[in-house]
Protein backbone atom coordinates (compact mmCIF):
# COMPACT_ATOMS: atom_id res chain seq x y z
CA UNK A 1 0.00 0.00 0.00
CA UNK A 2 1.36 3.40 -0.93
CA UNK A 3 2.21 5.56 2.03
CA UNK A 4 -0.17 8.49 2.39
CA UNK A 5 0.92 12.08 2.76
CA UNK A 6 -0.88 14.68 4.88
CA UNK A 7 -2.06 16.33 1.65
CA UNK A 8 -3.76 13.11 0.51
CA UNK A 9 -6.29 13.73 3.26
CA UNK A 10 -7.10 17.32 2.30
CA UNK A 11 -10.70 17.62 1.09
CA UNK A 12 -10.87 18.15 -2.67
CA UNK A 13 -12.00 21.76 -2.35
CA UNK A 14 -8.91 22.54 -0.26
CA UNK A 15 -6.55 20.56 -2.44
CA UNK A 16 -5.84 23.02 -5.25
CA UNK A 17 -2.80 24.82 -3.83
CA UNK A 18 -0.03 25.38 -6.40
CA UNK A 19 2.52 24.25 -3.84
CA UNK A 20 0.91 21.18 -2.32
CA UNK A 21 -2.50 20.63 -3.85
CA UNK A 22 -2.77 17.15 -5.28
CA UNK A 23 -5.50 18.43 -7.63
CA UNK A 24 -3.44 21.30 -9.11
CA UNK A 25 -2.06 19.87 -12.35
CA UNK A 26 0.50 22.67 -12.77
CA UNK A 27 1.70 22.62 -9.17
CA UNK A 28 4.67 21.38 -7.20
CA UNK A 29 2.80 18.61 -5.34
CA UNK A 30 4.70 18.88 -2.08
CA UNK A 31 3.93 15.82 0.03
CA UNK A 32 4.35 15.90 3.81
CA UNK A 33 4.81 12.62 5.70
CA UNK A 34 4.49 12.16 9.44
CA UNK A 35 7.61 10.70 11.00
CA UNK A 36 7.28 10.39 14.77
CA UNK A 37 6.98 13.89 16.21
CA UNK A 38 8.38 15.41 13.03
CA UNK A 39 7.41 15.52 9.37
CA UNK A 40 9.45 14.95 6.24
CA UNK A 41 9.17 15.90 2.58
CA UNK A 42 11.44 15.45 -0.40
CA UNK A 43 11.40 17.56 -3.53
CA UNK A 44 13.71 17.55 -6.54
CA UNK A 45 13.72 20.92 -8.31
CA UNK A 46 13.50 21.14 -12.07
CA UNK A 47 16.62 22.31 -13.93
CA UNK A 48 14.93 25.68 -14.54
CA UNK A 49 14.32 26.34 -10.85
CA UNK A 50 17.61 28.23 -10.74
CA UNK A 51 18.67 31.37 -8.93
CA UNK A 52 22.24 31.70 -10.10
CA UNK A 53 23.43 28.85 -12.29
CA UNK A 54 23.85 25.70 -10.22
CA UNK A 55 21.75 26.87 -7.31
CA UNK A 56 18.09 26.64 -6.38
CA UNK A 57 15.86 29.70 -6.60
CA UNK A 58 15.04 31.14 -3.17
CA UNK A 59 11.36 31.57 -3.98
CA UNK A 60 11.04 27.82 -4.53
CA UNK A 61 12.73 27.18 -1.19
CA UNK A 62 10.27 29.56 0.47
CA UNK A 63 7.40 27.78 -1.29
CA UNK A 64 8.50 24.34 -0.13
CA UNK A 65 8.95 25.55 3.44
CA UNK A 66 5.55 27.25 3.33
CA UNK A 67 3.61 24.20 2.14
CA UNK A 68 5.50 21.68 4.25
CA UNK A 69 4.86 24.05 7.16
CA UNK A 70 1.09 24.16 6.72
CA UNK A 71 1.02 20.38 6.20
CA UNK A 72 3.00 19.93 9.40
CA UNK A 73 0.60 22.25 11.22
CA UNK A 74 -2.37 20.17 10.13
CA UNK A 75 -0.68 16.95 11.21
CA UNK A 76 0.19 18.45 14.60
CA UNK A 77 -3.36 19.58 15.31
CA UNK A 78 -4.88 16.24 14.31
CA UNK A 79 -2.38 14.59 16.62
CA UNK A 80 -3.02 17.00 19.52
CA UNK A 81 -6.74 16.28 19.17
CA UNK A 82 -6.05 12.52 19.04
CA UNK A 83 -7.79 12.42 15.68
CA UNK A 84 -6.90 10.43 12.59
CA UNK A 85 -5.53 12.44 9.66
CA UNK A 86 -8.41 13.40 7.40
CA UNK A 87 -11.15 12.69 9.95
CA UNK A 88 -14.07 15.13 9.89
CA UNK A 89 -14.26 18.05 10.25
CA UNK A 90 -11.21 18.64 8.02
CA UNK A 91 -8.34 20.79 9.26
CA UNK A 92 -6.54 22.97 6.76
CA UNK A 93 -4.04 25.69 7.54
CA UNK A 94 -3.01 28.89 5.80
CA UNK A 95 0.13 30.91 6.35
CA UNK A 96 0.01 34.08 8.42
CA UNK A 97 3.77 34.67 8.38
CA UNK A 98 6.79 33.04 6.80
CA UNK A 99 10.43 33.59 7.64
CA UNK A 100 13.29 31.95 5.77
CA UNK A 101 17.02 32.20 6.51
CA UNK A 102 19.10 31.18 3.49
CA UNK A 103 22.14 29.74 5.20
CA UNK A 104 24.09 28.68 2.14
CA UNK A 105 23.48 28.33 -1.61
CA UNK A 106 21.29 25.26 -2.26
CA UNK A 107 22.72 23.08 -5.03
CA UNK A 108 20.40 22.18 -7.89
CA UNK A 109 20.20 18.66 -9.32
CA UNK A 110 19.83 16.79 -6.04
CA UNK A 111 16.75 16.03 -3.92
CA UNK A 112 15.96 18.56 -1.22
CA UNK A 113 14.97 17.11 2.14
CA UNK A 114 12.68 19.00 4.46
CA UNK A 115 12.05 18.22 8.11
CA UNK A 116 9.25 19.97 9.94
CA UNK A 117 8.48 20.27 13.61
CA UNK A 118 5.52 22.00 15.28
CA UNK A 119 7.14 24.14 17.98
CA UNK A 120 3.90 25.57 19.30
CA UNK A 121 0.27 24.52 18.98
CA UNK A 122 -2.10 27.07 20.49
CA UNK A 123 -5.75 27.07 19.52
CA UNK A 124 -6.04 27.75 15.79
CA UNK A 125 -2.38 28.81 15.49
CA UNK A 126 0.64 26.58 14.97
CA UNK A 127 4.28 27.63 14.68
CA UNK A 128 6.35 25.22 12.61
CA UNK A 129 10.10 25.08 12.13
CA UNK A 130 11.33 23.63 8.84
CA UNK A 131 14.91 22.71 8.03
CA UNK A 132 15.91 22.17 4.38
CA UNK A 133 18.96 20.10 3.51
CA UNK A 134 20.68 19.19 0.25
CA UNK A 135 23.50 16.70 -0.21
CA UNK A 136 23.84 16.42 3.58
CA UNK A 137 24.11 20.16 4.27
CA UNK A 138 21.51 22.32 5.96
CA UNK A 139 20.94 25.09 3.39
CA UNK A 140 17.88 26.91 4.73
CA UNK A 141 15.81 27.19 7.86
CA UNK A 142 12.29 28.52 8.09
CA UNK A 143 9.52 29.39 10.49
CA UNK A 144 5.90 29.20 9.41
CA UNK A 145 3.09 30.72 11.45
CA UNK A 146 0.07 28.75 10.29
CA UNK A 147 -3.54 29.51 11.15
CA UNK A 148 -6.51 27.21 10.72
CA UNK A 149 -8.52 28.23 7.66
CA UNK A 150 -12.23 28.88 8.03
CA UNK A 151 -14.10 25.92 6.51
CA UNK A 152 -15.90 28.10 3.97
CA UNK A 153 -12.62 29.26 2.35
CA UNK A 154 -12.26 25.97 0.53
CA UNK A 155 -15.50 26.30 -1.33
CA UNK A 156 -15.28 29.92 -2.48
CA UNK A 157 -15.38 30.40 -6.24
CA UNK A 158 -12.26 31.31 -8.17
Is residue 51 a contact partner of residue 58, using CB atoms and an 8 Å limit? yes
Q: How far is the CB of 87 from its own copies (least distance, A)?
A: 21
For every residue of 117-136, DSSP letters joined together read EEEEEETTEEEEEEEEEETT
Shortest Å distance, C-beta 99 to its own copies = 5
Half-sphere exposure of 9 (CA within 13 A, CB side): 23
Task: Identify the residue among 85, 94, 110, 121 touching its own copies (CB under 8 A).
Answer: 94
Residue with smaller CB distance to its own copies, 81 or 97: 97
Site for its own copies in 26-65 (CB under 8 A): 26-28, 46-55, 57-60, 62-64
Sign of torsion, CA 4 10 13 14?
negative
Q: Which of residues 95-114 bind its own copies (CB under 8 A)?
A: 95-102, 105, 108-109
CA atoms of 49 and 139, how far apart (whole Å): 16
Residues contributing to the site for its own copies (CB under 8 A): 13-14, 16-19, 21, 24-28, 46-55, 57-60, 62-64, 66-67, 94-102, 105, 108-109, 149, 153-158
Amino acid sequence: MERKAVQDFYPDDFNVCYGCGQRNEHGLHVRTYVSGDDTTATFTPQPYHTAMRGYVYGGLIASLIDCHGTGTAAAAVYKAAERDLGSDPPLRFVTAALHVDYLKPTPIGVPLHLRGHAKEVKGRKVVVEVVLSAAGDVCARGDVVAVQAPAQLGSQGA
